[in-house]
Amino acid sequence: MDECASLALAGKGFTKTNPIVGAVIVRDGKIIGRGWHTEYGKAHAEVMAIADAGEVRGADLYVTLEPCSHHGKTPPCVNKIIETGIKRVFVGVVDPNPVNAGNGLDILMEHGVEVFLGYREELCAALIEDFTKRILIGLPYYSLKTATSIDGKLATRTKDSKWISSSSSRAYAHYLRSVSDAVLVGVNTVIKDDPQLTVRDVHSENDPYKIVLDPHGRMPEGSKLEENPDKLIYVTEKGAETSASSRLRAKGANVLGISCINGSLDLRELSGKLIEMKIMNILIEGGGETAGSFFDADLVDKGYFVIAPKIIGGRDAVMTVTGKGVELVSGAKEMLETDIRHFENDILISGRFADYRRHVLDLTEKLRNRCSRGL
């Protein structure tokens, strides 16, 4: 199942609102076929693994997620499993989608396939947290990445920020982009840094969307983001046509009009629009105001905080998170667990602010007894 999970990750950034899934075919203790969901609308992991293996009659299938039982962009995977004579199926976790949850298991067993449920559940549930959030509440999964000094500054009082973090930390940031559907910043970041927000320093074919929040039409003409308008999503106030929105629309950018509340964009309304565009996994890279607005809206699901051992100081320096904030320490946003890594002299603290694994784990435990055997 660990091999299946590694394969699944190869689809990260390409499956849109579908979950990433990995699968292997095993015969006589040896892997004879591998597959993963490579791209939205294309064959699922099980079908890819079967094709890779060739003759699979009597073999075993291991898969991170319950095989689908419904017609979507592709036929049901359970049909292929049954038709090709797979003898046993080992499933990591149950599909949280109510359309399929448990149905795939039942159909396989009704056709004489032995099904074993509950293998490396924590790992498999973590693979699909973004998908689970979409299924449960219909919103994208937001990860926030920042790079700050040890005293919590994103930039100096003169707004200089190149470079607070090490080259290794910056390469990791590019990895995070490579596994995201979109990278989001506020217009202040565009004005100050003129970023490309592309994937560099790591090998990846994924080119995520670039989302710019600009409620008041301040996007500067000639920015690097305008060079690839097909991948630019420009978000501004609904009904407020500005020179920036007109210019970007004419160039072919995606221009979204979103309601404003007290001068700020309604981020939940925006989130619904992004899901409609099949953008499910979003990396927030904006400054303190952008980070604060997403925390204030209770939308940040995971955080990646790179801390460099440097002191910047200054009351006018740029803080990591601003926004409205909380009134009491008891209301602070707290990570549910943390992971600590080192990049040269930098420290990366990462962790979840919301945990969607539990729903999948509970569902898997509930349905164990339907299957041939659980662990």
- Does the annotation flag 292 for ligand binding? yes
- The answer to whether 193 is annotated as binding is yes
Q: Most distant CA pair in the chain: distance in Å?
A: 70
Q: Rounded CA gap, 259 and 249, in Å? A: 18
Answer yes or no: is 197 a known binding residue: yes
Angle (nearest 5°) at CA 305 between 302 and 309: 170
Establish whether 177 is an annotated binding residue.
yes
Locus of tokens 């149905």: 103
236 is in an annotated binding site: no
φ/ψ (deg, to 5) at 24: -135, 150
Q: Is 285 annotated as a binding residue?
A: yes
DSSP letter at 219 equals P
Of the residues 39, 46, 269, 344, which is catalytic? 46
Does the annotation flag 288 for ligand binding? yes
Give the residue from 102, 101, 107, 108 showing the smallest Cα distance to 86.
108
Tell whether residue 290 is among the known ligand binding residues: yes
Distance (Å, whole) CA 208 – CA 177: 7
Report whether 118 belongs to an annotated binding site.
no
Collapse the DSSP code of 359 into the 3-class scheme (helix H, G, I; strand E, B; otherwise coil) and give the result. helix
Q: What is the DSSP string of 117-181?
A: E-SSHHHHHHHTHHHHHHHHHS--EEEEEEEEETTSEEE-TT---TTSS-HHHHHHHHHHHHT-S
Is position 44 annotated in a ligand binding site? yes
- Please give the Cα distance from 151 to 260 (Å, whole number): 33
Tell me if residue 46 is catalytic: yes
Is 77 labelled as part of a ligand binding site?
yes
CA distances from 217 to 57, 274, 333 (A): 61, 20, 31
- 148 annotated as a binding-site residue: no
Residues known to be catalytic: 46
What are the binding residues for NADP(+)?
A: 147, 163, 189, 193, 287-293
What are the binding residues?
A: 44, 68, 77, 147, 161, 163, 177, 189, 193, 197, 200, 285, 287-293
What are the binding residues for substrate?
A: 161, 177, 197, 200, 285
What are the binding residues for Zn(2+)?
A: 44, 68, 77
